[in-house]
Structure formats: structure tokens, C-alpha cells
Structure 1
Amino acid sequence: MNINGLSNIVISGAFKSVSSAHITITPAINGSTNQAAESTSQETVNISSKGKQVLATEVGASLRGQAAEKRQQTERAENEEPKSIIDEQIERIKEEIKALQKMLTKLAGDNSEAAAQQRKQLQEQIMQLGNQIAVLMDNKMRDAQKAAS
């Protein structure tokens, strides 16, 4: 479906009042292009003032929500302390563990031998990553103690 007149709003980047639009219905092409051209029809749709208000409210709410979210992200970024390399590594490993756990839950209903082997591998990987986090936390504690003394 092609809506003529509404594309101007998208292209201009500004919001304009829309009171009517021309809608062209283009059916799927099953035969020749002449047949498709003959069956194309065009209708005019009018939007009521109440519909305009609802549309404006929905668009406005969406834009306000996006602006608030961006503002919160900016504030969080400003308030956060710069992360050390160890903290970044810990975060990366935690994300890997979450991904592996998701894969593990997907295999929960599969009772095949291959799934059992894959579950075992995933559990071993999770344990190894957990050990890496423990080592990194230990290094972080040592660095903090050195900095304090």
C-alpha cells in the first residue's frame, strides 16, 4: 500500500498537519503488468480532528519518551566513573556467561546425547569464565590495596 502525501512529512523531517491522504492499493502481481495497472485503485481518506489529536498525542508521547531516555543515558554516562581495564574485562565475561546460560536453557528440553554433551561443554565454559572473574576480582583487590598503601 502506498500512501501519497505522507512521504512529504518523512522527507522534510518536520511534522505537518495531515488532514487527508491519497491511498493507492497495489495488488500483488499475478499476471502481466497491464492487469496490475488496471486493478490499481485510488481512494481519499480524511482524518478527523479527534484522530489528529490522538495521533499528535501518540507521536508526542513517543518523542518525549525518547528524549527522556537519551537524557537518562547521558546523565548515567556523566555520573559513572571511568572503568578500569579489569572492570571492562569482568563486564565482558559476565555478558559471555549470560549468553552461555541462554544457550543452556535452550537445550533444557532436549534429551539427546548431543544435547547432553553440548550442555556439559557449556557448563564447563561457564565455570572457566567464573574462574576468570574470580582471578580478575583478586587482581582488582590487590591493585586497590596497593593504591591504598
Structure 2
Amino acid sequence: MNINGINSNATGSGFTTVSGAYIAATPAATKTPTANSESAGSQDTQDTVSISNAGREALSNDFGAPLREKALAKKNEAEVTPKEEPKTLIDEQIDKIKEKIKELQEILSKLKGDDSEAADQQRKMLQEQIMLLSGQIATLLDKKMQDSKKSD
């Protein structure tokens, strides 16, 4: 048996839609060319298979629905992203302070293996700077909250 468009040995166009595919029965191998050759020739007919509308709808629901959901999710995600609020001055200051804290923490981590007095003093100084910057962030966050309460 051969399904056109699916079997690589099929004749005809390369690809067809599932609803347009047909099944061609291949003749059975005959032992001797006798009277059976006439019946074998009559077996070489093509049966047409069609998919009903309900079948197409079921295929669409089974395979198409997940693809449509993924496309819709990507579309919604793309719409949500540009609607972000612009950063305020306070937010920008907080981000700059966070970057400074990260830099100081990297320097502090580099000094971990050094047990000298100079390294110990530098660690204390870096920790104090980190604490001061953290306090500034807390102050800016308080101010941001107060501003948002006033605007409500």
C-alpha cells in the first residue's frame, strides 16, 4: 500500500495536503503469470480518502491550538514590554548606587585572601562605604514612597 506524498517511492507531486492524499494498493506478487494476472491488474485501483470537516476541526484543535496559544502569548508579551513606565530620577540614582556597591563588593572579594594589615584596613573602609551607600538607597526608597503617596 502506498500513500501519495508520504512514501518516498510514491509517484506524482512531492507533497500534498493530508485531505488530498490517496492510497494506492500495490499489486500482490504473483507466482506465475496465469489467469491471476487479470485479477492482479484489476487490483491496481486507487482509493480516495477524504477527511470530514469534523476531522479537520479535530486536527486543528489537537495540533493548531497549542501553536495558536504560543503565538498569542508571544504577541501579548511583545505588547506588555513597551508599556513600562519611564525611570524616575530617584530610580536612576538607586541604580547608580547599586552599581557602585557591586564594584565595592568585587574589590572586597579580591581582598579575601590577603591577611595583611593594609588589606584589613581597606576591607573595613570598603564595608563602611557599602553601608553608607545602602543607607542612601534606603533614604531614596523612603522618598520615593512619600512621593507616590502624595501623588495618590
TM-score bracket for the superposition, by shorter chain length: 0.3 to 0.5
* Larger CA Rg, structure 1 vs 2: 2
- Given the two structures, how large is their TM-score scaled by the length of structure 1? 0.47
- Given the two structures, how large is their TM-score scaled by the length of structure 2? 0.46
Higher strand share: 1
